[in-house]
Amino acid sequence: MTSERPSLWPTVEIADPTKALSAAAEPWTTAVSEFTKWQRNGLQQAAAAWAAAIPGAGKAAEPMTDKRFAGEAWNKDPRFDALARAYLAHTKLMREALEAAPLDERSKAQWGFALRQVTDALSPANMLATNPEALQLAVETGGASLVEGMRLFTEDLAHGRVQMTDTTAFEVGRNVGATPGSVVYQNELIQLIQYTPTTAQVYARPLVIIPPCINKYYILDLQPANSFVQHAVAQGHTVFLVSWRSAGPGQETLTWDDYIEQGVLRAIDVARRVSDTETVNTLGFCVGGTLLASALAVRAARGEHPAASLTLLTTMLDFSETGEIGLLISERGVAQREAAVGTGGLVKGIELAQVFASLRANDLIWPYVVNSYLKGKPPPAFDLLYWNSDDTNLPGPMFCWYVRNTYLENKLRRPGGTVQCGEPVDLGAVQIPAFVYASKEDHIVPWQTAYASTQLLSGEVTFVLGASGHIAGVINPPAKNKRNYWTSGGSRSTDSSGGPSRLESDPDHWFETAESIPGSWWPAWIDWLVPLSGPQVPARTELGSSEFAPIEEAPGRYVKEEAS
C-alpha cells in the first residue's frame, strides 16, 4: 500500500489539454485558414479572368458593372478586360480577408477605410498605361489630350486641389446666391440677410435659417431653379439667413459659445426685432442644426423660448453612430489638435473638404483625375460642386470643442452633459414642434442617427426621410419632380405624462411602416410650417427697420471672402 503525499503545487484540472490549446489558437487558426482560402480564390479568379480574355478558352465573363470600367474600350480589348477583372477580384478578396481577421469591429472598419483608399487609388483606370480610353484618346488627338491634361494638372497644382467643376462659370451674387435681399445686421462672425418678399401677403412669423458654418450658406440658395430660400420666400415666408464668416486672423480664438451667442441667438433676436414678433420659426442644416438646437436649449435653460418651431435638416444631435467620419476621430488625434489650435488658430477649409471627399473618392476625386489629367477634359460647370469647392475656415477653439463633445464623447445627448454659454444644456427642454429631415443615402449624417433626434426633443416631432444623399436629398425642388421621400403619421408611442407622443425609438421599424411618396419633400415641409407661421399680413415694402437699417445688398461681403 502506498502512502499519499501532499503535492507541493496546487492541483489544476484540465479536462482536455488539447482542446484548451486549440481554443487559444482558434482566432489565428481561423485567420490562417481564411488567408489560405483567400490565396486559392485569388488564383482561381485571376485564372478565370485571363481565361475569359482568350477567345475560345472558356465561358464568356459577365459584363462588368463597375462604372470605372463600363466603357467599350475596356470590354473590346481582352488585355484590359482581364486587367480590370483581376483588379476587382483581388480588391474583393482583400476586403473578405480583412473581414475574417481577428479584429474588433471598429478596427476592422478603420482598416477597411484605409484599404478602400489604397485600392481606389490603385485602380487601373487611374493610370495612363492601364487606361485604354485615355490611350485611345491620346492616339486620336495626336497627343493633344495629354498636353491639355498636363495643363489642367498644373492649374490644379497651383490651386492645391483637384478641380471638380468649371469655377469660372459661377459667381456668388450673379448666378448663385442671387436671391434679392439685404444684409440687415453684421458682427465679426455673421452677416444676417433678410430676403425681399415676392408675395403681396406674408406670414407674420418669420423663418430664420442657420446653414452649416463649415461651408458657405448658398447651398440653400443656388440657382433660381433649385434655391430653397427662393422657394420659401415664394410661399409667403419672410426669410432671414445667417451668412457665416470664413474665420481669418481676427477670428482665431472664437469658441463654440461665440457661435451660439454671436451667431445663432443674435440672428434670432435681430429677426424678432425687425419683424416685431415674440417668436420665430427656425431651421438648421447639418452642423447648423446642431448649433441651432444647442442655442434653443441654452435659451430654455434661461427660461426663454424665442422659437415657435424647429426644423433640422440632416443634423446629428446624438453622435452614437457617425458613419465613416467617426472612424477618423480618436482621443489621440483630438488631443493633438487641441494642443495645436485649441486655444487659438485656424482649421483650414481645404483640409475639411479633403476629408469629406475621401469618404467618396470614386465619386469626388478619381473621376476628375482621370477625365482632367489622363483625357484632357476640363470638368463641366455644376453649381453644387462649385459650392462644394468654396472652402470655409473654422476657429480652432470652436472646432475642438465641437469634435470632442460630439463625435468623441457624445455629450450633447445627455441632459446637462455640456455647459454652453454658462448653461447646462438639455435638448429635452426644447419643447416646440420639430420637423426632422434625413437623407437615406447620406454618408455624412447616417439617417438612423438623424432619426435619433426624435427621441431627444420633447415637442411633437415629424420625421421625413428623403431619397439620395447629404446634399442632393435636401436640394430637391418640386418643379423637377425627382426622387421620393418617406413619411409616417403613425408609429408613435404614448407619453404617459400627458405631453406629446414620441415617434418610436427603432428607425428601421419606422421605415417598414412609412409611406413612400414620389417627388420633393419641400411641399410636405411647407404644409407643416404654415400652421406655425401665424396670420398673413401685408408684405413690407422696405427691408430691415429703423434699428437695423440695411447695410448692403445680398449676398453681402462675408460670403465672397475666400478662405486663405
385: cell is 460642386
The residue type at 308: A
- For residue 282, which phi and psi values (nearest 5 degrees)? -130, 150
The residue type at 106: R
Q: Which of 213, 286, 400, 421 is catalytic?
A: 286
The answer to whether the beta carbons of residues 252 and 217 sit under 8 Å apart is no
The residue type at 391: D
* 431 sits in which H/E element: none
- For residue 16, which phi and psi values (nearest 5 degrees)? -150, 100
Q: Which residues lie across from 309 on neighbouring strands?
A: 281
489: cell is 403619421
- For residue 285, which phi and psi values (nearest 5 degrees)? -115, 125
The residue type at 36: T
Q: Classify 148 as helix, strand or coil.
A: helix
CA–CA separation, 265 and 291 (whole Å): 10
286 is catalytic: yes
The answer to whether the beta carbons of residues 395 and 255 sit under 8 Å apart is yes
CA–CA separation, 295 and 73 (whole Å): 56
CA–CA separation, 206 and 476 (whole Å): 22
CA–CA separation, 7 and 424 (whole Å): 64
Assign 3-class secondary structure to 232-299: HHHCCCCEEEEEECCCCHHHCCCCHHHHHHHHHHHHHHHHHHHHCCCCEEEEEECHHHHHHHHHHHHH
Q: Which residues lie across from 243 on neighbouring strands?
A: 191
User: Rounded to a whole number, what is the distance in angstroms from the first to the last CA of the chain?
Assistant: 94
The answer to whether the beta carbons of residues 149 and 374 sit under 8 Å apart is yes
The answer to whether the beta carbons of residues 250 and 188 sit under 8 Å apart is yes
CA–CA separation, 381 and 170 (whole Å): 8
Query: Which residues are catalytically annotated?
Result: 286
